[in-house]
Amino acid sequence: MKWTDLDDNWCPVARTLSLVGDRWTLLILRDCFLGKSRFDQFADSTGATRHIISDRLKRLVEAGILEKQAYSERPKRYEYVLTEKGQEFSPALVAFKDWGKKHLPVRRATQG
């Protein structure tokens, strides 16, 4: 079964997972909620390869969760910002955060 085969599943959880059901996608969304918006920020912050960042941003834009906006014209440069649909995803990340804080205490410091 492929990733996107879940997009018409009867279950809304499964449909949601067909879009955001992977580590890197969710980390990118976390970064968006932390105010990050640029390609290199996502790459540095998540630790994913540029290849993955590129792919995931494409999916998120297609899904209408992020919007690609030019912030510079001559060198064309884009940033990615949450749409309203994307903003409304915050309860899920908050739930992840709360669960992680309670059940997965950090053992040693790492850079984010």
Residues 13-52 that bind DNA (CB under 7 A): 22, 24, 38-41, 48-52
Strand partners, 79: 69
DSSP state of 63: T
Residue selected from 19, 29, 57, 82 as contacting DNA according to rule CB under 7 A: 57
Please name every residue paired with 68 in a beta bridge, in sequence order, or none if there are none: 80
Single-letter code of the amino acid located at 24: W
| DSSP 8-class letter at 7 | G
H or E segment to which residue 103 belongs: helix 90-103
Q: Within 13 Å, how many C-alpha atoms sit on residue 32's CB side?
A: 27
Which of a second copy, DNA, none lies near 78, with the C-beta cut-off 5 to 8 A by kind? DNA
Contact pattern for a second copy over residues 33 through 72, marking x by CB under 8 A: --------------xx------------------------
Residue 21's binding partner out of a second copy, DNA, none, with CB under 5 to 8 Å set by partner kind = a second copy
Residue 6 interacts with, from DNA, a second copy, none (CB under 5-8 Å by kind): a second copy
Q: How many CB atoms lie within 10 A of CB 81?
A: 13
Q: Which residues bind DNA (CB under 7 A)?
A: 1-3, 22, 24, 38-41, 48-52, 54-55, 57, 68, 74-79
